Structure 1
Amino acid sequence: MIYGAKCWPAKRKHTNKINVTETRMLRWMCGYTRKDRKRNEYIRKKIGVAPIEDKLRESRLKWFGHLNRRPIEAPVRKIELLDFAHV
Protein backbone atom coordinates (compact mmCIF):
# COMPACT_ATOMS: atom_id res chain seq x y z
CA MET A 1 0.00 0.00 0.00
CA ILE A 2 2.92 2.36 0.57
CA TYR A 3 5.01 1.15 -2.37
CA GLY A 4 7.18 4.01 -3.58
CA ALA A 5 6.43 6.13 -0.50
CA LYS A 6 10.07 7.01 -0.11
CA CYS A 7 9.71 9.66 -2.82
CA TRP A 8 6.25 10.99 -1.99
CA PRO A 9 5.70 14.45 -0.63
CA ALA A 10 3.75 13.05 2.32
CA LYS A 11 0.80 15.31 3.03
CA ARG A 12 -1.33 14.90 6.11
CA LYS A 13 -4.47 14.01 4.13
CA HIS A 14 -2.66 11.20 2.27
CA THR A 15 -1.26 9.82 5.51
CA ASN A 16 -4.72 9.90 7.08
CA LYS A 17 -6.30 8.05 4.15
CA ILE A 18 -3.63 5.36 4.24
CA ASN A 19 -4.02 5.07 8.01
CA VAL A 20 -7.81 4.64 7.75
CA THR A 21 -7.47 2.03 5.01
CA GLU A 22 -4.83 0.12 6.95
CA THR A 23 -6.94 0.15 10.12
CA ARG A 24 -9.92 -1.21 8.19
CA MET A 25 -7.73 -4.03 6.83
CA LEU A 26 -6.38 -4.85 10.28
CA ARG A 27 -9.90 -4.95 11.75
CA TRP A 28 -10.95 -7.27 8.93
CA MET A 29 -7.95 -9.54 9.58
CA CYS A 30 -8.83 -9.79 13.28
CA GLY A 31 -12.52 -10.30 12.62
CA TYR A 32 -13.54 -7.12 14.44
CA THR A 33 -16.03 -4.55 13.25
CA ARG A 34 -16.55 -0.97 14.38
CA LYS A 35 -19.47 -2.24 16.46
CA ASP A 36 -17.04 -4.28 18.58
CA ARG A 37 -15.59 -0.95 19.78
CA LYS A 38 -11.98 -2.14 19.91
CA ARG A 39 -9.37 0.63 19.93
CA ASN A 40 -6.95 0.89 17.03
CA GLU A 41 -4.00 0.64 19.44
CA TYR A 42 -5.38 -2.63 20.81
CA ILE A 43 -5.67 -4.10 17.31
CA ARG A 44 -2.17 -2.93 16.33
CA LYS A 45 -0.69 -4.42 19.49
CA LYS A 46 -2.54 -7.71 18.96
CA ILE A 47 -1.20 -8.08 15.41
CA GLY A 48 2.17 -6.44 16.13
CA VAL A 49 2.04 -3.79 13.41
CA ALA A 50 3.74 -0.39 13.68
CA PRO A 51 1.78 2.78 12.84
CA ILE A 52 1.83 3.76 9.18
CA GLU A 53 3.48 7.11 9.95
CA ASP A 54 6.48 5.26 11.36
CA LYS A 55 6.73 3.05 8.29
CA LEU A 56 6.55 6.05 5.95
CA ARG A 57 9.25 7.85 7.93
CA GLU A 58 11.42 4.73 7.87
CA SER A 59 11.16 4.37 4.09
CA ARG A 60 12.01 8.05 3.54
CA LEU A 61 15.03 7.77 5.83
CA LYS A 62 16.22 4.68 3.95
CA TRP A 63 15.97 6.62 0.68
CA PHE A 64 17.83 9.58 2.22
CA GLY A 65 20.61 7.24 3.37
CA HIS A 66 20.78 5.73 -0.10
CA LEU A 67 21.22 9.17 -1.64
CA ASN A 68 23.88 10.19 0.88
CA ARG A 69 25.96 7.10 0.06
CA ARG A 70 26.14 8.13 -3.60
CA PRO A 71 29.36 9.83 -4.73
CA ILE A 72 29.32 13.63 -4.76
CA GLU A 73 29.74 13.56 -8.57
CA ALA A 74 26.38 11.81 -9.00
CA PRO A 75 23.71 14.06 -10.56
CA VAL A 76 21.37 13.55 -7.64
CA ARG A 77 24.04 14.85 -5.23
CA LYS A 78 25.09 17.87 -7.34
CA ILE A 79 21.94 19.67 -6.23
CA GLU A 80 23.45 19.94 -2.74
CA LEU A 81 26.24 22.14 -4.10
CA LEU A 82 23.95 24.66 -5.82
CA ASP A 83 23.56 28.08 -4.23
CA PHE A 84 20.00 29.32 -4.77
CA ALA A 85 20.50 32.58 -2.84
CA HIS A 86 22.06 34.30 -5.86
CA VAL A 87 19.69 32.97 -8.50
Structure 2
Amino acid sequence: MRVWTLTVRLVHKFKVAQRAMERAMLGVSLRDRIRNEVIRQRTKVIDVAHRISKLKWQWAGHISRKTDNRWGKRVLEWRPRLGKRSLGRPQARWSDDLRKTAGRSWMREAENRSQWRALGEAYVQQWTAIG
Protein backbone atom coordinates (compact mmCIF):
# COMPACT_ATOMS: atom_id res chain seq x y z
CA MET A 1 0.00 0.00 0.00
CA ARG A 2 1.35 3.41 -0.95
CA VAL A 3 0.30 6.44 1.06
CA TRP A 4 1.27 9.86 -0.25
CA THR A 5 2.28 12.55 2.14
CA LEU A 6 0.47 15.76 1.26
CA THR A 7 3.03 18.36 0.30
CA VAL A 8 2.67 21.78 -1.25
CA ARG A 9 4.44 20.52 -4.37
CA LEU A 10 2.13 17.52 -4.75
CA VAL A 11 -1.04 19.58 -4.22
CA HIS A 12 0.20 22.09 -6.80
CA LYS A 13 0.75 19.27 -9.32
CA PHE A 14 -2.76 17.94 -8.71
CA LYS A 15 -4.25 21.41 -9.20
CA VAL A 16 -2.35 21.94 -12.46
CA ALA A 17 -3.53 18.57 -13.75
CA GLN A 18 -7.13 19.31 -12.74
CA ARG A 19 -7.11 22.68 -14.51
CA ALA A 20 -5.73 21.01 -17.65
CA MET A 21 -8.53 18.42 -17.54
CA GLU A 22 -11.18 21.10 -17.03
CA ARG A 23 -9.85 23.05 -20.03
CA ALA A 24 -9.96 19.84 -22.08
CA MET A 25 -13.55 19.20 -20.97
CA LEU A 26 -14.61 22.63 -22.22
CA GLY A 27 -12.37 22.61 -25.29
CA VAL A 28 -10.61 25.74 -24.08
CA SER A 29 -6.97 26.42 -24.93
CA LEU A 30 -4.44 28.29 -22.81
CA ARG A 31 -4.25 30.78 -25.67
CA ASP A 32 -7.90 31.70 -25.08
CA ARG A 33 -6.73 33.28 -21.80
CA ILE A 34 -9.85 32.42 -19.84
CA ARG A 35 -9.45 32.70 -16.07
CA ASN A 36 -9.41 29.55 -13.96
CA GLU A 37 -12.31 30.85 -11.87
CA VAL A 38 -14.49 31.16 -14.98
CA ILE A 39 -13.58 27.65 -16.11
CA ARG A 40 -14.35 26.31 -12.60
CA GLN A 41 -17.78 28.01 -12.66
CA ARG A 42 -18.56 26.40 -16.01
CA THR A 43 -17.47 22.88 -15.06
CA LYS A 44 -18.76 23.00 -11.45
CA VAL A 45 -15.99 20.61 -10.40
CA ILE A 46 -14.82 20.54 -6.77
CA ASP A 47 -11.23 21.68 -6.20
CA VAL A 48 -8.94 18.66 -5.99
CA ALA A 49 -7.01 20.03 -2.99
CA HIS A 50 -10.28 20.50 -1.10
CA ARG A 51 -11.41 16.97 -1.89
CA ILE A 52 -8.08 15.29 -1.09
CA SER A 53 -7.57 17.07 2.21
CA LYS A 54 -11.17 16.53 3.31
CA LEU A 55 -10.99 12.79 2.58
CA LYS A 56 -7.63 12.45 4.33
CA TRP A 57 -8.96 14.23 7.42
CA GLN A 58 -12.09 12.06 7.50
CA TRP A 59 -10.09 8.85 7.04
CA ALA A 60 -7.63 9.83 9.78
CA GLY A 61 -10.52 10.42 12.19
CA HIS A 62 -12.16 7.16 11.17
CA ILE A 63 -9.00 5.12 11.70
CA SER A 64 -8.11 6.75 15.01
CA ARG A 65 -11.58 6.02 16.43
CA LYS A 66 -11.28 2.28 15.77
CA THR A 67 -11.25 0.37 19.04
CA ASP A 68 -10.23 -3.06 17.76
CA ASN A 69 -6.60 -3.77 17.02
CA ARG A 70 -6.61 -3.33 13.23
CA TRP A 71 -3.44 -2.81 11.24
CA GLY A 72 -4.39 0.72 10.08
CA LYS A 73 -4.18 2.21 13.52
CA ARG A 74 -1.09 0.18 14.41
CA VAL A 75 0.70 1.47 11.32
CA LEU A 76 -0.10 5.07 12.26
CA GLU A 77 1.26 4.56 15.77
CA TRP A 78 4.36 2.59 14.69
CA ARG A 79 7.74 4.30 15.15
CA PRO A 80 10.63 2.37 13.57
CA ARG A 81 13.90 2.41 15.50
CA LEU A 82 16.15 0.57 13.05
CA GLY A 83 19.32 1.80 11.41
CA LYS A 84 20.85 5.23 11.16
CA ARG A 85 18.96 8.37 10.26
CA SER A 86 19.74 9.78 6.84
CA LEU A 87 21.48 13.11 6.45
CA GLY A 88 19.53 16.29 5.88
CA ARG A 89 15.97 17.22 6.58
CA PRO A 90 13.77 14.31 7.67
CA GLN A 91 11.11 13.29 5.19
CA ALA A 92 7.56 14.35 5.93
CA ARG A 93 5.33 11.67 7.42
CA TRP A 94 1.70 11.14 6.54
CA SER A 95 0.53 12.40 9.91
CA ASP A 96 2.78 15.48 10.16
CA ASP A 97 0.23 17.89 8.71
CA LEU A 98 -2.49 16.38 10.93
CA ARG A 99 -0.29 17.09 13.96
CA LYS A 100 0.22 20.68 12.80
CA THR A 101 -3.52 21.31 12.85
CA ALA A 102 -4.77 19.12 15.70
CA GLY A 103 -1.70 18.89 17.92
CA ARG A 104 0.51 16.02 19.02
CA SER A 105 -2.41 14.04 20.44
CA TRP A 106 -4.47 14.20 17.24
CA MET A 107 -5.68 10.61 17.64
CA ARG A 108 -7.23 11.50 20.98
CA GLU A 109 -8.72 14.69 19.51
CA ALA A 110 -10.45 12.62 16.81
CA GLU A 111 -12.58 10.85 19.41
CA ASN A 112 -14.65 14.02 19.86
CA ARG A 113 -16.40 14.19 16.48
CA SER A 114 -17.73 17.75 16.69
CA GLN A 115 -14.33 19.14 17.65
CA TRP A 116 -12.68 16.98 14.95
CA ARG A 117 -15.02 18.40 12.28
CA ALA A 118 -14.24 21.97 13.37
CA LEU A 119 -10.50 21.29 13.19
CA GLY A 120 -11.07 19.63 9.82
CA GLU A 121 -12.40 22.84 8.31
CA ALA A 122 -9.15 24.61 9.26
CA TYR A 123 -7.13 21.71 7.86
CA VAL A 124 -8.98 21.74 4.53
CA GLN A 125 -8.71 25.52 4.30
CA GLN A 126 -4.92 25.42 4.63
CA TRP A 127 -4.59 23.06 1.64
CA THR A 128 -7.21 24.83 -0.47
CA ALA A 129 -5.38 28.15 -0.13
CA ILE A 130 -2.33 26.73 -1.93
CA GLY A 131 -2.13 27.97 -5.53
Q: What's the TM-score, normalizing by structure 1?
A: 0.71
Instruction: Pick the aligned partner of 1:44 from 40, 43, 49.
Output: 40
Matched to 1:40, the amino acid is: N
Deviation at 1:75, TM superposition (A): 5.0
Give the helix-richer structure, 1 or 2.
1
Tell me, yes or no, if structure 1 residue 34 matches structure 2 residue 30: yes
Given the alignment, which residue of 14, 17, 33 partners 2:13?
17
AA partner of residue 5 (structure 2)? P
Which blocks of at least 5 consecutive residues in structure 1 are unaligned?
A: 80-87
Q: Is the 8 A contact 1:15 1:53 kept in 2?
A: yes
- Give RMSD over aligned pairs: 2.6
Aligned partners of 1:19, 1:76: CA distance in 2, in Å?
28
Name the count of aligned residue pairs. 77
Q: Which has the higher contact order (CA 8 A, sep 6+)?
A: 2
Residues 21, 76 of structure 1: alpha-carbon distance in 2 compared, 3 angstrom cutoff: closer
Tell me by how many angstroms 1:40 deviates: 0.8
| TM-score normalised by L of structure 2 | 0.50
In 2, Cα distance between the equivalents of 1:8 and 1:16?
Answer: 14
- Deviation sequence 1:23-65 (CA, Å, 0-9, x none): 1111011010011111111111111112111011111022123
1:63 to 56, 59, 63: 59
Q: Structure 1 segments of 4 or more deviating over 6 A?
A: none
For 1:27 and 1:35, locate their aligned partners in 2 and report how far apart those are by CA, in whole Å: 11
Q: Is the 8 A contact 1:70 1:77 kept in 2?
A: yes
Percent identity (aligned): 25
Flag structure 2 segments of 5+ consecutive residues without an equivalent: 78-131
